[in-house]
Amino acid sequence: MNKPAKYLIISIILVMLFTLTSCKKNTKAATLNIPYSCELTMKSDDEGSDTYKASLSRKENSWLVTYTEPESISGMTITYSDDNYKIKLDKLEFDAKRDELPDSALSTMIISALDKSTLSTNVEYKTNKGLTIASGTIGDKDYELVFKDDIPQSLKISGYTVTFSNFKS
C-alpha cells in the first residue's frame, strides 16, 4: 500500500473515532434539592408478602421515616441524625449508631441509595426514554434508582421495589 493511501485510511479512522466519541451522551447525575419529602410504597418481590407504606422527610443533616402500613408497624418512626438512629414504636425506643444497624434494613437501603445516587461519584448513570437510571451498590446489594426530571420514581434493591410518590422539595 502506498504512503498517501495509508495517510488517507488513518485520517478516515481518526475522523470516525472523533465523530463516534462526540456523539456519546454523557448522563448527568440526578440532583435532589434538600429539604424534600415523599411517600414510599415498598413491596417485596416474594409473592404474598406485605406491602409497606411510609412517609420520608429529608432535611439538611437528618432523615425521618414514618411507617403507615401495615397496621402492625403503623406509627413506627426511624430518625437518622448525626450518625445515630432512633427507632420508635409506641412506647418502645431503640437508639443505635449507623454502623450497628444492618445494611439490609429496608429504610437504611432506601436512604443510602438516595444519598449515594445524588451525592456520590461511585454511581453509574444512563438514560432511557427520558429517565435517568442510577445504579450502584449498597454494602453488597446492587440497586437501580430511576429518576424523572431529578425526582425519584422507583428503586429496586435486594428483592424489594420501592415506589416514590407525592415528592415535594
For 49-101, how does the pLDDT look when each residue is reduced to its tens digit (9 = 90+)? 899 999 999 998 899 999 999 999 999 999 999 889 999 999 999 998 877 87
Number of domains in the chain: 1
**Backbone dihedral region for residue 48 (phi beyond 0: left; psi -120 to 50: alpha; all else: beta):** left
Q: Cell numbers at residue 84, please? A: 445515630
Residue 14 has pLDDT above 80, yes or no: no
Distance CA 33, CA 129 (A): 23
pTM of the model: 0.80
Predicted confidence band at 139 (pLDDT cuts at 50, 70, 90)?
A: confident
Residue 4 has φ and ψ, to the nearest 5°, of: -60, -35
Q: Which amino acid is at 5?
A: A
Predicted confidence band at 1 (pLDDT cuts at 50, 70, 90)?
A: low
User: What 8-state DSSP symbol labels residue 28?
Assistant: P
Listed in order, strand segments (DSSP E) in 18-140 are 36-44, 51-59, 62-69, 77-81, 84-89, 92-97, 124-128, 131-138
Any idea what the CATH number is for the domain that residue 113 is in?
Answer: 2.50.20.10
Domain extent, residue 62, equals 30-168
The answer to whether position 12 is within a domain reads no
The answer to whether position 72 is within a domain reads yes
pLDDT score at 29: 78
pLDDT score at 10: 52
The answer to whether position 8 is within a domain reads no
The answer to whether position 96 is within a domain reads yes
The answer to whether position 5 is within a domain reads no
Share of the chain above pLDDT 90, in %: 56
pLDDT score at 83: 85
The answer to whether position 37 is within a domain reads yes
